Amino acid sequence: MFPGTEEGPEDDSTKHGGRVRTFPHERGNWATHVYVPYEAKEEFLDLLDVLLPHAQTYVPRLVRMEAFHLSLSQSVVLRHHWILPFVQALKARMTSFHRFFFTANQVKIYTNQEKTRTFIGLEVTSGHAQFLDLVSEVDRVMEEFNLTTFYQDPSFHLSLAWCVGDARLQLEGQCLQELQAIVDGFEDAEVLLRVHTEQVRCKSGNKFFSMPLK
């Protein structure tokens, strides 16, 4: 999970939407996250414009994600002087990977580990094996740097919206069925939610590093 933790000198939750930082900020520590970026097209945002207001009838505090991606790592802490070696190790492992298509069309509700945030996501239904292969390589880099590897049996997904707190009770069941019906009935959803993966990206603090696939 962990759709990106802001870099900053103080843990003021009012500055990041009421979210609670997963780990305390310390000078020289950089929150780092590896993921596949998703560039949202107009049609995707049109779908979101239907999905989100419907979900908000159940949980009004839901807000749209500012950017979209599929995580390949947990959010980890890197010391500043380890960023470039870490990125170089990642790039070395990504060079052999080919671009691939995946489909994300199954609505699912997620929380972070601490249950302090809830997300509405679209789960990957094809392309799962390729994501597992990518995670396997990312995990090996994490192990080299003594960092936490990704979750066992991960559910790869594209987070669409989030809120503070554990809102699974309100969102699962009837709401989830209705959201899935919206996705299934959306014009050209089959084409819209089939995505070509062209790169892996690493965000460390406020720096971004892109690793193109073959």
- The residues carrying an active-site annotation are 69, 157
How far apart CA 182 and CA 186 sit, in angstroms, is: 6
Rounded to 10°, the helix 174-185/42-56 angle is 160
Cα separation of 183 and 189, whole Å?
A: 7
| Six token digits for residue 83 | 């960023």
Residue 15 near residue 6 (C-beta atoms within 8 A): yes
Q: How far apart are CA 124 and CA 195, in angstroms?
A: 10
Bridge-based pairing of strands 207-212 and 117-126 is unpaired
Burial (CB < 10 A; 0-12, 13-18, 19+), residue 71, is buried
Distances (CA, A) of 168 to 22, 111, 165, 172, 174: 20, 8, 9, 6, 11
